[in-house]
Copies of this chain bind each other. A is one copy, B any other.
Amino acid sequence: MLEKMCATCQYNLSIINMLKNELPSENMIDNLTNVFKVFGDNTRLKILWVLFDKEVCVYDIADSLNMSQSAISHQLRILRQARLVKARRDGKNTFYSLDDEHVKRIIEQVLIHISE
């Protein structure tokens, strides 16, 4: 299946190859685990899922997950700080969406892992 890698794959691999021979700094490890910790919560992962292909306001996220507005708002702040989602205010509503394509790619890789 891996006959020939495209530029994207090669670029990605090069990043990890650069680092594989030495332990990264404690700071780099912190940055990495902090991102993983943000993904490691059911509520946050569901929020990301809701935002996969559309922009949604806080109330609608809470509604579709059947949770309180407060709980969702708290988690959205954590997701925002990790730069996984971005917010856009429109009148009384704040609409959230994924900050970049990496979010999908990260979840994608874990999905591939558990589906084997």
Chain A interface size range:
35 or more
Is B8 a contact of A29 with CB atoms below 8 Å?
A: no
How many copies, total?
2
> Nearest B residue to A41 by beta-carbon distance?
B33
Chain B neighbourhood of A36, CB < 8 A: 36-37, 39-40, 45, 110
Is B13 a contact of A3 with CB atoms below 8 Å?
A: no
Tell me the interface secondary structure of chain A in the complex: helix
A5's contact among B1, B8, B31, B103, by CB below 8 Å, is which?
Answer: B8
* Given A16-B108, A108-B109, 6 new contacts (CB under 8 A): A2-B8, A23-B64, A33-B39, A36-B36, A39-B40, A106-B113
